């Protein structure tokens, strides 16, 4: 299957999701929030847990985490740390930060990166988490409203098609 065909396939799957627009959009926002947090192996679990807690769609929560992928992990971690260090007014931790960023660019496993961050100390961990929290919220809030409009449109489109099918006179 080509890349374009794959995109079309996943868009069709998204359109066919059942549920209320609010629940679907809330799940997507939780997924995007979790996907932008620097908690690589725990993103889907976090998104689904938030959706369970706040009654969002668990499927769209898992789908929303796909905003993070191996191509943008570097940027997520880099900007999470930088923003978190700025907010917390922490001094530069060049060696530790460079080591984590080197692991990301070399394609190291997510569990090893998390282990390095946890082993680096509470201030480094706080920088990553605070920065990721800010970035996640900044992108999740507008995504909720964007996807709420999208899923409302899909619901009304689906209902108009069903209504048209009911009133259609069969040809003889």
Residue 82 lies in a domain: yes
Does some domain include residue 162? no
**Structural domain total, the chain:** 1
CA torsion angle 100 105 109 115 (round to 10): 0
pLDDT of residue 170: 56
Residue pLDDT, tens place only, 94-144: 666 677 777 767 766 766 777 777 776 677 788 888 999 999 999 999 999
Q: Which tens digits make up the pLDDT trace of 59-107?
A: 999 999 988 876 777 788 888 888 988 898 887 666 666 777 777 677 6
- What is the Cα–Cα distance from 127 to 141, expressed in whole angstroms? 21
Does residue 2 surpass a pLDDT of 70? Answer: yes
- Residue 171 located in a structural domain: no
What is the domain extent for residue 63? 3-157
134 and 86 Cβ atoms separated by less than 8 Å: no
Distance CA 29, CA 50 (A): 10
In a domain, 170, yes or no: no
Q: Is residue 17 part of a domain?
A: yes
Q: Is 109 part of any domain?
A: yes
Total Cβ atoms within 10 A of residue 77: 23
pLDDT tens per residue across span 17-46: 888 999 999 999 999 999 998 887 789 999
The helix or strand, by DSSP H or E, that contains position 84, with its residue range, turns out to be helix 73-88
Tell me how many helices (H) and strands (E) the chain has: 8, 0
pLDDT band at 158 (very low <50, low <70, confident <90, very high): confident
Report the C-alpha gap between 151 and 25 in whole angstroms. Answer: 7
The CA R_g of the chain, rounded to the nearest whole Å, is 20
Residue 83: strand, helix, or coil? helix
In a domain, 165, yes or no: no
């Amino acid at each position: 299957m080509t890349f374009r065909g794959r995109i079309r396939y996943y868009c069709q799957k998204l359109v066919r999701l059942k549920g209320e627009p609010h629940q679907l959009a809330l799940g997507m926002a939780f997924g995007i929030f979790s996907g932008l947090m620097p908690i690589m192996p725990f993103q889907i679990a976090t998104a689904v847990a938030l959706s369970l807690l706040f009654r969002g769609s668990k499927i769209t929560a898992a789908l929303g985490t796909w905003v993070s992928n191996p191509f943008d992990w570097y940027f997520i971690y880099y900007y999470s740390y930088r923003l978190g260090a700025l907010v917390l007014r922490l001094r530069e931790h060049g060696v530790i930060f460079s080591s984590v960023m080197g692991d990301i660019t070399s394609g190291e496993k997510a569990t090893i990166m998390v282990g390095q961050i946890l082993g680096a100390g509470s201030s480094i961990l706080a920088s990553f988490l605070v920065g990721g929290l800010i970035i996640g919220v900044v992108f999740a809030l507008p995504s909720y409203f964007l996807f709420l409009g999208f899923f409302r449109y899909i619901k009304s489109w689906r209902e108009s098609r069903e209504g048209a099918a009911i009133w259609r006179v069969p040809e003889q």
